[in-house]
Structure 1
Amino acid sequence: MVKVGPLCVDKYEASVWSAFDGTGTQYGAASDNYPGTFPDTGNWTAPVYAVSEAGVTPSRYITWFQAQQACALSGKRLLTNAEWQMAAAGTPDPGTDNGTTDCAVDTASTPNVVNTGSRSSCVSKWSVNDMVGNVPEWVADWIQGPNGNGVEGAWDPGSFVSSAPYIASAAYGNDFIVGINEASSTTDPFPAALIRGGGYYSGTGAGVFALLATGDPTGSGNLGFRCAR
């Protein structure tokens, strides 16, 4: 872990293991192979552990509930949205991916996730690795649920698409912001857990301001996480 203001943050995206010290079986590296004793609900009967380790594939295919428990079982917790933003500050976001040192953000150069810490330039001012791209990261915060895939508020620095009302902003790295339009509430506004940073497939939309606010906490796919204490 590295010191970030008043807290300590995992330097690397989490890998989930059967043993506390990051040995034994790794889960979620290539598929959703978490054991039945650690279900999507997070209601575990046998523990697994979130480990911050360089040079491994970060774990994916994990729900918010599982990520929360994997952190807790390791004596840590998910970062809040504000803490994630603080830890990510200064991570280079050139909008490109040279396939070697840049953050992993472009499938043309990065067809899949890369090992933790392998992109030497993808480091924040606090010495936290891979906050931009690679795997999008769950954070602790929940909000009102999905009502579409667009933010129509006053502050909309970027999005996956360029048509109105999405307005990309170079000042914020053209990072995507996908959130909730509360004025057009649906009849089933389920809660959403926030996802930060973008992934290896996000292109210029990945960055320290990238935020997805339409993620069902029971979702998994290419989602990852990191922990703090």
Structure 2
Amino acid sequence: MATVFEASAAIAMFRRPYTTTSSVSYPLPTPTAVAGLLAAITGLVNGCQERGFAAQYWQYLQGTRIAIQMLAPLKWRSETINFWNVKEPQKNPHIQVKHQFISRPRYRFYVHGGVEEELKKHLSRGTFVYTPYLGVAYAVADIKYCGHYPWGPVVLEQADVSTVVPYMNNLEVDILSSGGAFRERIPYRLTQDRSLVETLPILYQTDPAKKLRLIKRGELDVTRCGEDIVAWFPAW
């Protein structure tokens, strides 16, 4: 069984770590961002009361695997945000920083194993422990519980996948039949002090009406979950 829920907001931003003054976003939630979302809903302890950069919830996410589906077309939006100038307030009390946001995003998340049972309890009751948001604190997420679905193998080698596809060894995609595809390398797992451990390349569509057609799956785990064919990220 897999627990499925959706998250939407007016804006979202999953900041690329190498951007500083001008914040630039990944085009979709990274697995590390989804990990924080799961931790917020289920109330996993992160230890920030002792160290501000702590992320102890990663130890509780072991054995959890996820899949990510984009339900709204990818649209960008640029804004300039006022911040307090804490370094030199005598010169100018505010500084203006450009931000790149995703406009009106909506995502569907599939969760299996690990914290799934605790997640299902909160989602089914419509509760959460910490406020869920999409990347940044001013992008508060609206959470919708979709259900708890059985999943099973996809018999045919060729499959039209609804979700983001982690690019695994020996994977082959029919780009022409898929109507094109985008490739990105995204952070996949962090340590308990937020150091990057692993990244993964992914393939995705910016139009939710299109699906990625797989010719060969290689090491990729593809299953049917409800009515969708889902490509799973490896378990944390």
Pairwise same-fold verdict (TM > 0.5): no
Scaled by the length of structure 1, the TM-score of the pair is 0.28
Scaled by the length of structure 2, the TM-score of the pair is 0.27
Higher RCO (C-alpha 8 Å, min separation 6): 2
Indicate the structure (1 or 2) with the bigger Cα radius of gyration. 2
> Which has more strand, going by share of residues?
2
